[in-house]
Structure 1
Amino acid sequence: MRKTALRSAIGLGTVIAATLALAGCATSTPTSTTTTAAAASAVDLSGVCPATVTIQTDWNPESEHGHLYQLLGPNPVINADKKSVSGALYSGGKPTGVNVEIRSGGPAIGYQTVSSQMYADKSITLGYVTTDEAVQLSDKLPTTAVFAPLDIGPQMIMWDPSYYPNVTDIASLGTALKADGGVVRYFGGAAYMEYLMGAGILDKSVVDGSYDGSPAKFVAAKGKDAQQGFASAEPYIYQNEVAAWGKPVKFQLTNDVGYPVYASAVSVRTGELASLTPCLKKLVPVLQQAEVDYFKSPAATNALILQLVSAFNNGWVYTQGVADYSVKEMKSLKLVGNGDNAYMGDMDQTRVQKIIDIDTPIFTKSGSAPKAGLTAADIFTNEFIDKSIGF
């Protein structure tokens, strides 16, 4: 079963885990393959980017990461042991003169944060870092986001509409749960839940941090309890693939109740932003275009994603139905899109600052204080976004 909790929640004890990871991991060299020279009319990344652009994701292969797998040219090399795939980095159907290696996260990196993995293994060029993770680790493991593949985060809370027919959002769900003795199960320590409680949207008495990614407790509660999940997956999974449930759920995005993180923002180690700038000026528009191309025609890339899931064989279950639903739902819910302008991939300073303002006291209280005086400009930049590329 999908363990979205483990990839989406930012735990309040993350800094300790990150420190241990740095002490116990050694830098490794990514596998590289020979790439044909970049075609004259294609984007040429050779000379400005690393010979292999290594990208660390935050979970197993899935459609939310389709924009990255779209980068791979013909005949990619699958490394089942490393849970990675590599090959020539393509843009617009042509090689760019460098290779790309895409590494799985979650279980493949011991469920540690991408930030800690990026600092433990300096061969990683880019990694997925959600805004609240960037805030929490800004003092010891600073990262800067350069591209936001998701304009709205898919994190949500779901409930049974047949049990709670009058519930329309998370706030009214909280009221109903308190009256009925139900709870919202979530992965303990998640910052967004601390926000929901602090803002008075959910009472502390109705939250339960025992969620482990399994549907068992949700099913056993027969509708009385609610649960966290991803809007781009769980509604389909529970209705179509959890036989013991087999009916619709309703949900509200945590984004829509005032927690507007940029999920899985493509980021660099802050100290390397300047040295990578020549590369990023050319690479970020390639990432933008790959996402536009993927959502225009996702079938081939989704087939690769399913092939990777099968080859990695780590217990992660991901079907064609979920892959197709995810693409459709990400577009329908505007999780991907141009936002409030005509191009995609940029981030809004006000949104980022809001997360800093929300999470700084939360993380400080838990003993993992962000960098003193942290501002939005410290953890993201739109410098490399090509304003001509959008949906």
Structure 2
Amino acid sequence: MPIPARRVAIASVSSAIALVAVAACGGGSSTASSASTGSADKLTAAPAAQRLSGVCPKTVVVQADWEPEAEHGPLYNLVGPGYTVDSQHKRVTGPLVIDGKDTGVKIQIRAGGSAIGYQSVASQMYVDKSITLGMVTTDAAIAAAAKQPVTAVEALMKKSPQVLMWDPATHPDWKTVADIGKSNAKIVYVDGSTYGAMLVAKGLIKKSQLDGSYDGAPARFVADPSIAQQGFATAEPYIYQHEVTAWKKPVKYQLLSDVGYNVYPESLSVRSGEVKQLSPCLKKLVPIFQQSAVDFAGAPSSTVGLITGLVKKYNDSWVYSQGTGEFAAKQMVKLGILGNEADGSIGSFDMKRVASALATFTPLIAQSGAKIPAGLTAADLATDEFIDTSIGMK
């Protein structure tokens, strides 16, 4: 997968199937540098219900699926003062804090993408057992289930921000993905992404329209606005209008979650065989994740500042502005990407929807060559066991 100028599809079948063992990112020399905005020594202890010392690892390690971005805001929101940044390995470590109070353990968030050689998060979790949780989208979990099974314990987002986008001036008649399918326009996307096969299977687009050459850069779209292109509702609409100097105008799009891409994106997942072992920790930790999501949705700016600061310190090909992050945080709430499930809680799973995603994507992933375990169930992929149903956005 090429290094993108913008995030490309992470949960593609091609990357999820490529379960190549590589050396773990842990160990070796570090170029950690202090990037604290305060002292951890001044933190007040969290109440007993939120104290994680003794039940969780001393450092809760979370493997992200991509570089720092606002979609991961509920996690970065937990990083307290006194944190350190390891620019070499692209990770941040600090006190795990909720509502300004110290839970007694640290959190370490590791970047994905180039930091793990663009391999799948599930694969990295089995290469490096120091990882406590990883961000794994439902279709990627299905693809990994035979060799690297993971179980989601909290939904980082309620639905996917993935979209197909187009130029409204060139295509004023397009309102939906189905309208794109009625044309012969090329749809530029990352080859192997499961939603492409899904859209073809549903008859919404034609297979001949798919062009798997998307590399994340805006040049193709700017040069040829007759195409449709993959993107994220949380990024491209802002970036193209405000930051792509050769464009500087609106784009239109439709969320793929509206047309059957019903996965839970980037769900916080553990190795399936460790659910029982981690249960005492997860019973306290998952509600903290939930509360952090509520807190981030209500006041995202400082966390977005942390995210953009990390991007600068990591100093790789990834570029992410405060404006993009602020837009993403608001857009997630506006579009229901970050929000409550039907039960009124945030971070929970609709298990019927997980089962539906399993039924939809299993044959599509199998067609691409992945071996899917016989009898794989929704309960293997996700659990609500640790969700506090009283925590939700008001």
Shorter chain as denominator, the TM-score bin is over 0.9
Matched, 1:85 2:85: no
**Secondary structure, counterpart of 1:350 in structure 2:** helix
Q: TM-score, normalised by structure 2?
A: 0.93
Go from structure 1 to structure 2 and tell me whether the alpha carbon gap of 1:56 and 1:13 turns closer, same or farther (over 3 Å shift): closer
2:24/2:124 contact within 8 Å kept: no
Deviation string for 1:229-285 (max 9, x for gaps)? 110000111111111111111111111001111000000000000000000000000
Question: What do residues 140-186 of structure 1 show as CA deviations (whole Å, max 9, x unaligned)?
Answer: 1000000002111101100111111111100011113x1xxx20100
Q: Retained in 1: the 8 A contact 2:13–2:368?
A: no
Q: Distance in 2 between matches of 1:317 and 1:140?
A: 34
Task: Return structure 1 stretches of 4+ with deviation > 6 angstroms.
Answer: 30-38
For structure 1, which runs of at least 5 residues remain unmatched after alignment? none
- Amino acid paired to 1:364: A
Q: Distance in 1 between matches of 2:208 and 2:112?
A: 33
Give the structure 2 partner of residue 10 of structure 1: 12
Pairs within 5 Å for 1:311-350: 311-350=313-352
Q: For 1:289-368, what aligned pairs fall within 5 Å after superposition? A: 289-368=291-370
Residue of structure 1 in register with 2:249 after alignment: 247
How many Å apart are 1:4 and its aligned residue? 2.0
SS of structure 2 residue aligned to 1:89: strand
The secondary structure found in structure 2 opposite 1:197 is helix
- 1:201, CA displacement in angstroms? 0.6
User: What amino acid sits opposite 1:143 in the alignment?
Assistant: V
Three-state SS of the structure 2 residue aligned to 1:293 is helix
Aligned equivalent of 2:26, options 4, 25, 28: 28
Contact 1:13 1:368 in 2 (8 A): no
Could you give the per-residue CA deviations for residues 105-135 of structure 1, whole angstroms, max 9, x where no partner exists? 0111111110000000000000000000011
Query: Which of residues 102, 110, 113 in structure 1 aligns to 2:117?
Result: 110
Paired amino acid for 2:322:
Q
Cα deviation digits, residues 36-90 of structure 1 (max 9, x gap): 6972635210111000000000111111111111111112101100100001111
- Aligned-residue offset at 1:26: 4.3
Match of 1:70 among 74, 77, 88: 77
The CA deviation string for residues 352-387 of structure 1, in whole angstroms up to 9 with x for no partner, is 111111111112222202111111011100010011
The residue matched to 1:214 in structure 2 has which SS?
Answer: coil
Moved more, 367-376 or 32-41: 32-41
Q: Distance in 2 between matches of 1:90 and 1:308?
A: 18
Report the Cα distance in structure 1 between the residues aligned to 2:269 and 2:46, rounded to whole angstroms. 29
CA contact (8 A) 1:38 1:44 kept: no
TM-superposed deviation, 1:349: 1.2
Corresponding residue to 2:47 among 24, 41, 45: 41
Q: Distance in 1 between matches of 2:46 and 2:227?
A: 58
Q: Does the 8 Å CA contact 1:188/1:210 hold for their aligned counterparts? A: yes
Could you tell me how far 1:13 is from its partner in structure 2?
Answer: 5.8
Aligned twin of 1:149: 156
- Deviation, 1:27, is 7.7
Does the Cα contact within 8 Å between 1:29 and 1:123 map onto a contact in 2? no
Aligned counterpart in structure 1 of residue 136 of structure 2, from 120, 126, 129: 129
1:122-271 aligned at under 5 Å gives the runs: 122-176=129-183, 178=184, 182-221=185-224, 223-271=225-273
**RMSD value, Cα:** 1.9
Q: Number of aligned pairs?
A: 381
TM-score, length-scaled by structure 1: 0.93
Q: Which amino acid aligns with 1:187?
A: V
- Give the secondary-structure state (helix, strand or coil) at the position aligned to 1:46: coil
Residues 150 and 26 of structure 1: is their aligned pair in 2 closer, same or farther, counting only changes over 3 Å?
closer
Report the 3-state secondary structure (helix = DSSP H, G, I; strand = E; otherwise coil) of the residue aligned with 1:12: helix
Task: Give the share of equivalent positions with the same residue, in percent.
Answer: 48
Following superposition, the deviation at residue 340 of structure 1 comes to: 1.7
Contact 1:35-1:99 at 8 Å conserved across structures: no
What is the one-letter code of the residue matched to 2:375?
G
Q: 1:296 to 1:14 in 2, by over 3 A?
A: closer
Structure 2 equivalent of residue 388 of structure 1:
390
Contact 1:84/1:103 (<8 A) preserved: yes
Letter aligned with residue 63 of structure 2 = Q
Mapped to 2, the partners of 1:291 and 1:2 lie a distance apart of 27
Q: Which whole-Å CA distance do the structure 2 matches of 1:143 and 1:41 have between them?
A: 31
